[in-house]
Structure 1
Amino acid sequence: MNKYIRQILTQLALVTTLGVPALPAVAGGGSEMSEVPYQEIQLNPISMREAETLVGKEGVYFFDVNTLEIWAEGFIPGAVFFNVHNWRDLLPKNKDAVMVFYCANPMCTMSNLAAREVMKLGYTGVRHMADGIYGWRMSGRKTEKP
């Protein structure tokens, strides 16, 4: 019996006997568990309500860090597709400009990574909208399509 199947059976036995949901412990395709890396750069969150007030404003940039398929389904009006090789070329010259980064939903980490990378470059107005485009759409807010 391979290691992965043994782990799942052990987790199922725990769930059955203790009633404790232990399945997330094997998330990640059965790879070895490791500590979550500590991020020195803390994100500046923004709610959908606050982000909506910034849509279309001069000097405010929205960056969609989703896949091209999700982007094609609709994005926040005026948002720029950020999941490209030359992403640095998309950044404004003004390092104090307000920039809102988002991806699909709170489980998606691509916008977290993008926002932190931009902050490492010295940008100070970086915001992160964790609800992502799915939260935006589900709340009935306006979107655009390419």
Structure 2
Amino acid sequence: MNTLLRRSLTQTLVILAMGIMAMPVVAGGGSEMSEVPYNEIELNPISMMEAETLVGQQEVYFFDVNTLEIWADGFIPGAVFFNVQNWRELLPKNKDAVMVFYCANRLCTTSNMAARETMKLGYTGVRHMADGIFGWRMSGRVIEKP
């Protein structure tokens, strides 16, 4: 391939790549695709190992943001089903209490959104467990069922 053709092909690929990067990022969870929101609020991650040490402690709350079907298959002991319309009523009065939010796994974003919305309300002890209930179960940790 001659140099001029190679350079032209390279420039075309660079232009295409730049055009693709300029497109908005979209995501869908079984519904129509929509633009992914940008979040200014940084999540405070927690590992399953650290979360396990908090189960059953005073002033520590676990919030399961899964669907009712996933919830029914088991949840972290003491966790509260959080995927409800009146979720604000489930939050503790103490805005410094430790709260661990989780959903299904690292691909699930509902716990991210719930944690951020809670932080917007002034809660400071919000943690996010990205591995979710599937990671918890697969690691052999104890679960409860309703």
User: Shared topology, TM-score over 0.5?
Assistant: yes
Residue 57 in 1 paired to residue 45 in 2? no
Q: For 2:104 and 2:79, how far apart are their aligned partners in 1?
A: 14
Provide the TM-score with structure 1 as the length reference.
0.77
**2:97: which partner in 1?**
97
CA displacement at 1:91 relative to structure 2 = 0.2
**2:21: which partner in 1?**
none
Report % sequence identity.
82
1:29-87 C-alpha deviation (Å, 9 max, x unpaired): 8x7785x4321101000000000000000000000000000000000000000000100
Structure 1: gaps of 5 or more residues: 1-24
Shift in alpha-carbon separation, 1:121–1:139, aligned structure 2, 3 A: same
Provide the TM-score with structure 2 as the length reference.
0.77
Question: What amino acid is the match of 1:43?
Answer: L
Question: What amino acid is the match of 2:137?
Answer: R
Q: For 2:63 and 2:89, how far apart are their aligned partners in 1?
A: 13
Q: For 1:33 and 1:68, how far apart are their aligned partners in 2?
A: 24
**1:22: which partner in 2?**
none
**4+ long deviations beyond 3 Å:** 25-29, 31-34
Matches within 5 A, 1:41-52: 41-52=41-52
**1:76: which partner in 2?**
76
Q: For 1:91 and 1:63, how far apart are their aligned partners in 2?
A: 9
Residue 115 in 1 paired to residue 115 in 2? yes
Structure 2: gaps of 5 or more residues: 1-24
Question: What amino acid is the match of 1:108?
Answer: C
Q: For 1:32 and 1:83, how far apart are their aligned partners in 2?
A: 21
CA displacement at 1:104 relative to structure 2 = 0.2
**2:141: which partner in 1?**
141
Shift in alpha-carbon separation, 1:32–1:83, aligned structure 2, 3 A: closer
CA root-mean-square deviation: 2.0
